[in-house]
Amino acid sequence: MLKQTLAVTLMNLRAIPQRLGTSSVIVIGIAGVVAVLVSVLAMATGFHQTVANSGRDDRAIVLRGGSQAEVNSSIARDNLLTILDAPGVRKDAAGRPIGCGEIVTIVNLPKIDDGNLSNVTLRGSCGQLAALRPELKLIEGRLFEPAVRELIVGAGAAQQFRGVTLGSRISFRDSDWTVVGIFSSGGDAHDSELIADVDTVQSAFRRSLYQSVTALLDAPSSFAAFKDALTTNPTLTVDVKREPEYYAEQSKQLTKLLNFIAYFVGGIMAIGAMFGALNTMYSAVSSRAREIATLRAIGFGAVPVVISVFAEALLLALLGGALGAALAWLFFNGNAVSTLGANFSQVVFRLTVTPGIVVSGLWLALFIGLLGGLFPAVRAARLPVVDALRAQ
């Protein structure tokens, strides 16, 4: 049986070049489906990785109780010291707790590609920024000075928006801000931000409250004590989260939406590709009817014939899947794009084609090939041998 199956399958596959046109319908159709699926999943993965990978286990973010994001949170200035005095907060060499009260606000900057104004997060942070976020590295220039309208720009934002190069001046809130540094934070969400001194930002935007407090902890295990101290303090109404947990929540909705789009659009396209595969395989079986009948007459069983049709459909589907995944990887992997994040501002992230996504694409391709090959294989097995033998 194995020998028969192998022989018939190889014959089938060797005949593909004679049916290149119809066979390419399967390959191209499935390549399109897989390319779309892989691209959108790469978008979801890139966004999720960017946002969810922001933060460290030994850093905690404090928001007003019930707030889902910094943008709708507020913390009174008086509470900052109470929060940073809580147990578990790391101290610097001078004995000061490492943490900042921060605000986020949105400014509009033109995008490089189309010039349209987009929302960008302007974060007000404190002088302990370097100690609080050691992963944030200045790649050009210097840190902002307090009480001066200076800011530093994330590398992602610098790639996406016009006029944010070192030394350039950006106008918002009726004032000019000078870009004094470009930083990288390893591709996380802060890479899309502008950061300036918190007091200067509050002054410019006429605000008096912080929106969050971020504190560096002694160790990840210090989180429980820190959280307990704040949530049991009757003078505070706050939520305390580890940074990775907070950012994972921020990315969840959009990631879910993108995954839904990937599978919904991919699913609709897959149905189309499946009909293409069906048509192609029916045509392959029809064009080989006499060959199949001859093999059956010689004594080959129906099973090898069925398997050979399946093998052809699966191989073409796999080729299409691999082609689609390769195209998606070639054209999209690593491409920086931006979208609205949880703070209603642009989050710059890179499309990431992971091996897992490629495997998902290939599974979809095989599924399409399997369904597309099923009915033609059954037809091949039921081919009326006597009639097919006499067909010219």
Partner 1 sequence: MGNIVSLRKVAKRYTRGKEVVEVLHSLDLDIAEGDFVALMGPSGSGKTTLLNLIGGLDRPTEGEVIVAGEHIDRLSGAALARWRARHVGFVFQFYNLMPMLSAQGNVELPLLLTRLSAAQRRANALTALTIVGLADRARHKPSELSGGQQQRVAIARALVADPTLLVCDEPTGDLDRRTADEILGLLQVLNREHGKTVIMVTHDPKAAEYARRQLHMDKGALVDGQVS
Residue ranges in contact with partner 1 by CB under 8 A: 3-4, 7, 11, 14-15, 18, 290-291, 293-302, 385-386, 389-390, 392
Beta partners for residue 270, in sequence order: none
At residue 10, the 3 state secondary structure works out as helix
To partner 1, the closest distance from the beta carbon of 286 in angstroms equals 15
Minimum distance, C-beta of residue 309 to partner 1, in the bound complex (Å)? 16
- With residue 284 as reference, give the H or E element that holds it: helix 243-287
- Residue 144: both structure tokens together: 């902002």
CB nearer partner 1, residue 229 or residue 306: 306
Find the shortest distance in angstroms from Cβ 17 to partner 1. 9
CB of 10: closest distance to partner 1 in angstroms?
A: 9
**Distance from the first to the final alpha carbon of the chain:** 29
CB-count exposure of residue 86 (10 Å: 0-12, 13-18, 19+) = buried
Please state the closest distance from residue 11 (CB atom) to partner 1, in A: 6
Sign for the pseudo-dihedral over CA of 269, 317, 374, 279: positive
Q: Are 123 and 136 in contact (CB under 8 A)?
A: no
CB proximity list for 344: less than 8 A, separation 6 or greater: 71, 106, 119
In angstroms, what CA-CA distances link 304 with 8, 310, 333, 383? 7, 10, 40, 14
For partner 1, the closer of residues 14 and 206 by Cβ is: 14
Closer to partner 1 at the Cβ: 17 or 115? Answer: 17
CB 379 within 8 A of CB 283: no
The tokens describing 379, both together, are: 């037809």
Min. distance of Cβ 378 from partner 1 in angstroms? 15
**Smallest gap, in angstroms, from Cβ of residue 28 to partner 1?**
23
- Of 149, 163, 169, 74, give the one whose Cα is nearest residue 118: 163
Comparing CB distances to partner 1, the nearer of 163 and 384 is: 384
Which residue, 176 or 387, has its beta carbon nearer to partner 1? 387
Asked if residues 371 and 71 have their Cβ atoms less than 8 Å apart, the reply is no
Asked if 221 and 83 count as a contact pair (C-beta separation under 8 A), the reply is no
Min CB(391)–partner 1 separation in Å: 9
Closer of 4 and 335 to partner 1 (Cβ):
4
Residue (304 or 321) nearer to partner 1, CB? 304
Given phi > 0 = left and psi -120 to 50 = alpha, else beta, which region is 167?
left
Please say which residue, 302 or 327, places its beta carbon nearer to partner 1.
302
Report the relative pairing of strands 150-154 and 99-110 from DSSP bridges. unpaired
Cβ proximity to partner 1: between 103 and 293 the closer is: 293
Q: Minimum CB separation from partner 1 for residue 373, in Å?
A: 20
CB of 21 to partner 1, least distance (A): 17
Q: Are 172 and 217 in contact (CB under 8 A)?
A: no
Q: Residue 152: enclosing H or E segment and its boundaries?
A: strand 150-154
Tell me whether residue 252 or residue 290 sits nearer to partner 1 (CB atom).
290
3-state secondary structure of 140: strand
Q: Packing angle between helix 20-52 and helix 355-381, nearest 10 degrees?
A: 150
Which tokens is 241 given?
A: 């989260």
